[in-house]
A = this chain, B = another copy of it.
């Protein structure tokens, strides 16, 4: 199989898989952007709204809306940064951490059920390739 035809398949498969995953996320009743922001905070630790926006590849204004909703729901807190009067530090609350843990577990459980019976070595190769592509995409931004 040529590299190009592999990429055609990869593109279409990823697109449709992500569409299916959205339904798993929707069952959490929390909005996709909000769930995703919680995930960044959970796996990357506390950071500023601007850094969060950059991670999620959305505008600062959009992230501001998302954080306002999350704070209203008591899932994150925004605290002023003492060393820089312009910045804030966004952190998960206890409830926020519990929420993202549950949502992440649901995703992984869905994946595990889907992948049952798939060759473990091939799966590991796929994970390695996708992770490699992910890192290259990150670098390409700068």
Q: Is the CB of B137 within 8 A of A114?
A: yes
How many chain A residues touch B (CB < 8 A): the figure is: 54
Residues of B within 8 A of A10 (CB): 111, 123, 126-127, 130
Q: Is the CB of A137 within 8 A of B7?
A: no
Q: Is the CB of A125 within 8 A of B127?
A: no
Per the bound structure, the CA–CA distance linking A99 and B111 in Å amounts to 33
Q: Is the CB of B57 within 8 A of A19?
A: yes
Residues of B within 8 A of A94 (CB): none
Name which of A13, A108, A120, A138 has the most chain B CB atoms within 10 A of its CB. Answer: A13
Q: Is the CB of A14 within 8 A of B16?
A: no
Q: Is the CB of B133 within 8 A of A1?
A: no
Residues of B within 8 A of A83 (CB): none
A2 (CB) vs chain B CBs: closest residue:
B120
Q: Is the CB of A6 within 8 A of B127?
A: yes
Task: Indicate with 1 or 0, residue by residue over A53-78, a CB within 8 angstroms of chain B CB atoms.
Answer: 00011000000000000000000000
Q: Is the CB of B13 within 8 A of A130?
A: yes
24 contacts between A and B (CB under 8 A): A2-B120, A3-B112, A3-B120, A6-B120, A6-B123, A6-B124, A6-B126, A6-B127, A7-B108, A7-B112, A9-B127, A9-B131, A10-B111, A10-B126, A11-B108, A13-B133, A16-B137, A16-B138, A17-B137, A22-B57, A113-B140, A114-B133, A118-B132, A123-B129
